[in-house]
């Protein structure tokens, strides 16, 4: 299908690209050691093996940190838009179905079981990623009814599983208070401290999951009108449901595995984009990925201005809560359009 943006959608593309560029510049320049544009250009040209402090800061600290924020924001934005269309629920976001709670429980068990000591630091993201995928598998198995995936059962089971896994996570932390500090910092969300190999794995999960959702953008758009309408227009409804659910699990599971729980991005980005599309809602998923990437990276860069390090999940929670209240008040009603 040809979906070249026109009119308002084209303006959104330009604005979102400018937002990502601004976030990239802020992420590379802001910090305890501020780098000007001339220093950034010099450090980039010298490459990652330069001994100059500015090059070391740029290539080994800020660039992976900023790319992590961009990749995570894109994955969360695309996943939130896809779930809102799939479930026909404007309050849906990547964490509605318990995927984040499963990843959080997996990470907490890795901390408290001593797996980090025996298997190394990679045990944490692996345990978190497996926890996220396992929770998705449980939801999918329980929501299937007569060879079809019931969206109503999917929401109910997802919410119930999310509450159950959150309770188990709290119980795990309560019984292992001596390791609470490390787990708590991870659960609040972070994008700093990742190596290039970890950023590469995050890129793999984000790109595969995100591209799969973008490929399904037209089918997801048609599903907003109901399953019967989508089926009458040639959409393989059950296949789209499965692809969207597992692509979301892959993208969000990768983010939770390496960055922890970062909320509200998957809710904010689609709610900002949707009212401004003016009839081109098939572009909701890619544009939500664009604005999710720029918004999260900008929050991460501005968070460095604080004298004390602020958890990224706290920043997005505060900004996202205020934005969502403003958006609901401005629109007067929350609905899919």
Give the model confidence (pLDDT) of 91-141 as tens digits: 788 777 788 888 888 888 887 777 766 777 778 788 888 988 898 888 888
Residue 204 pLDDT exceeds 60: yes
Give the model confidence (pLDDT) of 249-299 as tens digits: 899 989 988 898 888 899 889 989 988 887 677 899 999 999 999 999 999
Average pLDDT over residues 35-61: 87
Q: Distance between CA atoms of 220 and 78, rounded to whole angstroms? A: 12
Of residues 249 and 174, more confidence is placed in 249
Lowest-confidence range among 13-22, 213-222, 309-318? 309-318
Kindly report the average pLDDT of the chain as a whole number.
Answer: 85
Average pLDDT over residues 136-156: 82
Q: What percent of the chain is modeled with pLDDT above 90? A: 31
Measured in whole angstroms, the distance separating CA 218 from the mean position of its chain's CA atoms is 21
- CA 107-113-117 angle, to 5 degrees, is 90
Q: What is the pLDDT of residue 5?
A: 63
Residue 1 pLDDT exceeds 50: no
Answer whether 68's CB lies under 8 Å from 199's CB.
Answer: yes
Q: What is the pLDDT of residue 337?
A: 44
* 3-state helix/strand/coil string of the chain: CCCCCCCHHHHHHHHHHHHHHHHHHHHHHCCCCCCCHHHHHHHHHHCCCCCCHHHHHHHHHHHHHHHHHHHHHHHHHHHHHHHHHHHCCCCCCCCCCCHHHHHHHHHHHHHHCCHHHHHCCCHHHHHHHHHHHHHHHHHHHHHEECCEECHHHHHHHHHHHHHHHHHHHHHHHHHCHHHHHHHHHHHCCCCCCCCHHHHHHHHHHHHHHHHHHHHCHHHHHHHCCCHHHHHHCCCCHHHHHHHHHHHHHHHHHHHHHHHCCCCCHHHHHHHHHHHHCCCCHHHHHHHHHHHHHHHHHHHHHHHCCCCCCCCHHHHHHHHHHHHHHHHHHHHCCCCCC
Residue 239 pLDDT exceeds 60: yes
Residue 240 pLDDT exceeds 70: yes
Kindly report the backbone phi and psi dihedral angles of residue 149, in degrees, each rounded to the nearest multiple of 5, phi listed first: -95, 110
Token pair of 134, please? 């396992």
Closest CA to 313 of 64, 20, 15, 72: 72
Average pLDDT over residues 25-29: 91
Lowest-confidence range among 41-50, 140-149, 151-160, 312-321? 140-149
Residue 146 pLDDT exceeds 80: no
Q: How confident is the model at residue 32 (pLDDT cuts 50, 70, 90)?
A: confident
Length of the chain: 337
Q: What is the pLDDT of residue 92?
A: 82
Q: What is the pLDDT of residue 309?
A: 73
Q: What is the pLDDT of residue 90?
A: 81
Q: Distance between CA atoms of 134 and 94, rounded to whole angstroms? A: 15
């Amino acid at each position: 299908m040809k979906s070249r943006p026109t009119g308002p959608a084209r303006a959104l593309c330009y604005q979102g690209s400018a937002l990502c560029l601004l976030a990239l510049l802020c992420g590379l320049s802001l910090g305890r050691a501020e780098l000007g544009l001339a220093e950034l250009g010099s450090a980039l040209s010298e490459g990652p093996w330069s001994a100059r402090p500015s090059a070391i800061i740029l290539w080994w600290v800020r660039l992976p940190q900023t790319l992590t924020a961009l990749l995570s924001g894109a994955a969360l934005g695309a996943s939130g838009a896809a779930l809102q269309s799939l479930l026909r629920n404007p309050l849906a976001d990547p964490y509605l179905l318990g995927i984040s709670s499963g990843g959080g429980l997996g990470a907490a068990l890795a901390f408290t079981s001593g797996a980090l000591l025996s298997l190394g630091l990679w045990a944490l993201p692996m345990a978190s990623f497996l926890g996220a995928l396992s929770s998705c598998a449980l939801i999918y198995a329980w929501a299937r009814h007569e060879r079809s995936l019931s969206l109503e059962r999917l929401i109910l089971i997802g919410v119930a599983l999310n509450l159950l896994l959150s309770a188990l996570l709290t119980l795990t932390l309560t019984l292992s208070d001596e390791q609470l500090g490390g787990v708590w910092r991870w659960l609040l969300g972070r994008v700093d401290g990742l190596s290039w190999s970890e950023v590469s794995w995050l890129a793999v999960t984000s790109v595969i999951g995100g591209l799969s959702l973008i490929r399904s953008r037209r089918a997801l758009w048609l599903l907003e009108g109901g399953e019967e309408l989508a089926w009458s227009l040639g959409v393989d409804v059950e296949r789209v449901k499965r692809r969207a659910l597992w692509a979301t699990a892959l993208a969000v599971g990768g983010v939770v595995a390496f960055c922890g729980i970062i909320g509200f991005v998957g809710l904010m980005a689609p709610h900002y984009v949707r009212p401004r599309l003016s009839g081109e809602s098939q572009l909701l998923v890619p544009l939500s990925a664009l604005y999710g990437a720029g918004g999260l990276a900008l929050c991460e860069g501005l968070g460095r201005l604080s004298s004390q390090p602020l958890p990224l999940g706290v920043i997005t929670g505060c900004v996202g809560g205020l934005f969502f209240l403003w958006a609901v008040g401005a629109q007067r009603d929350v609905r899919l359009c």
